[in-house]
Structure 1
C-alpha cells in the first residue's frame, strides 16, 4: 500500500534546459526546488533514469529532505505507431535494439530503487505507453512482463502509469502484475468544461475501482493547464480554473484518502511545439521562474 499523502509530479527543467539536449537542472537548482516542494508535499513523481532523477535522489539523501520519490522509466517503442504525428515509427531493427535498452533501463531503475531504498516510494515501468497516440507504444503483454521482471529486482512497490480509460479498456493483464494501479485523468484535454471536470475525474476512479476492487488505485497525474492553443478550449485554460479544479480534487482526495499526484510543479518550456501557447508548457502550479500561480499562492503566504 502507498500511504495517503500530498503528491506532485516534478520535472525541474528551466529555460534552455531539456532532456532532449541532455541539459539538466543543477544540484543547486534541484535543492531550491525541493526546498519549495517539501514544505507542502510528501511525494514527488519523476519519469526516467536520467541525470535529473539521480541528482534529485542525491539532493534528498544528502540534505535530509522529507520527500519520497516515485521513479520510473520511459520505454523505447516496441510497436511502430503510424497514429503518432511526432515520430512513432520504428523499424524492425530499431525495435530489437529497443527491447534490449528497455531491460537495461529496468535494471538501472532497480539499482536506483535499491541504492536509495529509504527515499524511493515506488517504481513505474512506463508512462502512457499503451495509449494509441504514443510515440513509444508498447504491447500490453510486454508492460506486464516488465512489471513482473522489475519485482524480481527490487522490493519497492511496482506500478504502471496510464490513462484511466486505458486501464478500463486494456489494463487487466497489467493489473495482475503490478502492486497498485496508477491512473491519469485530464478533463481539460477532453475539452470537458470546468463544471463537469470533478465528476469526470472522480468517475475515472470509481470505474477502475469497480473493475479492480482488490487493487489500490491512485492518481499519478491529474491537472489543469493555464494556457493553450486550439488543441483545447482556450476559454477554459487559465489560472482561475486551475485553482478551482485542483481545490475541488484536494477535498475529494482528503475525504477519500486517495493519493493524487498533481501534474505538475513547474512550467516546462522545453515541452511540446514551439508555439508559446502550447498547453504542454503550462501545467505547472508555479511558472518557470518559480512564481506561484493562483492555486499555489497559499503556499507562499
Structure 2
C-alpha cells in the first residue's frame, strides 16, 4: 500500500513537471507584443522609413515575398519599427507589409516587427490641375482615415502608431498642405475611438511633420490650432533634414575660415558634426516650443536622412553634400545621439526607390536608401556585411554585398568638400 502510494505520488510529480515545462516552452515561443511607449526611444528597437518599391512606378507593387525579403534584412540590422506613408486603395503597399509581417510571425513566433502606419492627408484640389485650396481638406481624407483604422483593428499586435499626414502642414508642401485644424480634427477622431474602446488604448496617435510645423522655427506656425494639436497627440513626430538645408539654409554648411588649414577629410568630418548639431537644434526648437505652451510629452524624429547621389542642388554643382561617406557619418552620428537620448529616429530610408524621381535617375530623392537597387549595402552598413549580418539573406535573388566592392579609397574619390560658393 505504501509502495503504491509512493509510486502514485512520484508519477503525479513527474506529470506535473512535464506539464509545467510544456507550458513554459510554449510561452517562450509565443510572439512578444510591445506598446508604442515601450518601443519609441528604445535603442533595442531601431526605427526606419520603409518603401519596398523596386521599379520606376508605384503601380508595380512589391510582392509579399519581396516584402518578406526586405523585412528579414531589416530585422537582421536590428530594425524593429517601420514607418509607412499611406493606405490608398490603389497602393496596397502598407497593407501588404502588415500581411508580410503577420506571415513571418506565424513562420517564426520570435520574429518581431511593428509599424507606424501613415494616413496621407491632402487639401482640396491637391495633385490636380486646379488651384489647391489649403483651407479646405480633400474629401479623400475620410477614406484614408477609415482604412488606417481598419488596418489598426486587423493587426493590433503590429500597428502601434497611426500618423495623420506626412509633412501635411508645412507650407513649402505647396501642392497639398492643410491647416493644423484639419490634422487636429482627425487626431481627435482617433483619440475618441480609443476612449470608446474601438481602437486599442495603447495605440499612439501623432502627425509626422517638419520641425517648423511643430513650432520649432518660424513663428508663423505658432497658432492656437497647433497648440491644440500638440496637446491632442500622444507624442510629436518631427522631421529634420540638414541635408536639404545645405542648399536652402547653407550658412551652417560652409566651412568657416578658422578651419581653412584642415585637410579635406577633416573639413568634411567637421561639416557632418555641424549637420548633427543642426538637427539637434531643430529638435530642441520643437521641445522648447512644446514646453512654452505648458506641454511635456515625448518628441521623436519621424524622418531624417542623407542622400548618396545627386545631380541637382546637393551634388557637384551644388552644395556638394551628397556621397556615401557623408551618409555614413550622418547615420552614425544621428543613431549614436538618438540612442543615447532615447529618442526614436525613423531614418530615411531603408532602400533606394527609383519611382520618386522616375525621369531623373540621378535625382537625390531616388538615393536616400542604405541599400541600393543592386542589393549593395552602402558605406554606413559595410561593417554589417563584414560581420556577416546578412548571411543567407538576399534581395531580388542577390546577396547583400558592399558598394565600391568595399574599396574605401575608391569611394573617397567621389567625396567632395562642402562648398556653398556655387552658381544658383
Q: Same fold (TM over 0.5)?
A: yes
Q: 2:159 aligns with which of 120, 123, 126?
A: 120
Q: 1:221 aligns with which of 264, 278, 303?
A: 303
The answer to whether residue 100 in structure 2 is matched with residue 59 in structure 1 is yes
SS in structure 1 of the partner of residue 139 of structure 2: helix
Q: Greater helix percent: which structure?
A: 2
SS in structure 1 of the partner of residue 343 of structure 2: coil
CA distance in structure 1 between the aligned counterparts of 2:132 and 2:371, rounded to whole angstroms: 40
Match of residue 244 from structure 1: 329
Note if contact 1:186-1:223 (Cα within 8 Å) is conserved in structure 2: yes
CA distance in structure 2 between the aligned counterparts of 1:143 and 1:241, rounded to whole angstroms: 35
Aligned Cα root-mean-square deviation (Å): 2.1
Question: Aligned pair count?
Answer: 291
Query: Which structure 1 segments of 5+ residues have no match?
Result: 81-85
Match of residue 314 from structure 2: 232
SS in structure 1 of the partner of residue 138 of structure 2: helix
Match of residue 117 from structure 2: 71
CA distance in structure 2 between the aligned counterparts of 1:208 and 1:79, rounded to whole angstroms: 30
- Which structure has the larger Rg? 2
> Could you list the runs of 4 or more consecutive aligned residues of structure 1 that deviate by over 6 angstroms after TM superposition?
none
Match of residue 9 from structure 1: 49
1:144-201 CA distance string (max 9 Å, x none): 1111112233331100011112211424232122110001111010115334101111
SS in structure 2 of the partner of residue 215 of structure 1: coil
CA distance in structure 2 between the aligned counterparts of 1:101 and 1:35, rounded to whole angstroms: 34
1:102-158 CA distance string (max 9 Å, x none): 011101101101110100120100000112222211111111111111223333110
The answer to whether residue 141 in structure 2 is matched with residue 102 in structure 1 is yes
Q: How does 1:1-301 map to 2 (within 5 A)?
A: 1=37, 2-3=39-40, 4=42, 5-16=45-56, 18-19=57-58, 22-40=59-77, 41-49=79-87, 50-64=91-105, 65-78=111-124, 89-90=130-131, 99-134=138-173, 135-153=175-193, 154-155=199-200, 156-168=203-215, 169=219, 170=221, 171-191=226-246, 192=250, 193=253, 194-195=271-272, 196-213=274-291, 214-234=296-316, 235-272=320-357, 274-300=359-385, 301=387
Match of residue 414 from structure 2: none
1:20-59 CA distance string (max 9 Å, x none): xx32100110010000001221111000113111111011
CA distance in structure 2 between the aligned counterparts of 1:99 and 1:77, rounded to whole angstroms: 5
CA separation of 1:208 and 1:227: change in aligned 2, threshold 3 A: same
Note if contact 1:79-1:137 (Cα within 8 Å) is conserved in structure 2: no
Note if contact 1:79-1:138 (Cα within 8 Å) is conserved in structure 2: no
Task: Report the Cα offset of residue 232 of structure 1.
Answer: 2.0
CA distance in structure 2 between the aligned counterparts of 1:161 and 1:11, rounded to whole angstroms: 16
CA distance in structure 1 between the aligned counterparts of 2:132 and 2:118, rounded to whole angstroms: 25
CA distance in structure 2 between the aligned counterparts of 1:172 and 1:284, rounded to whole angstroms: 34
Task: Report the Cα offset of residue 272 of structure 1.
Answer: 2.5
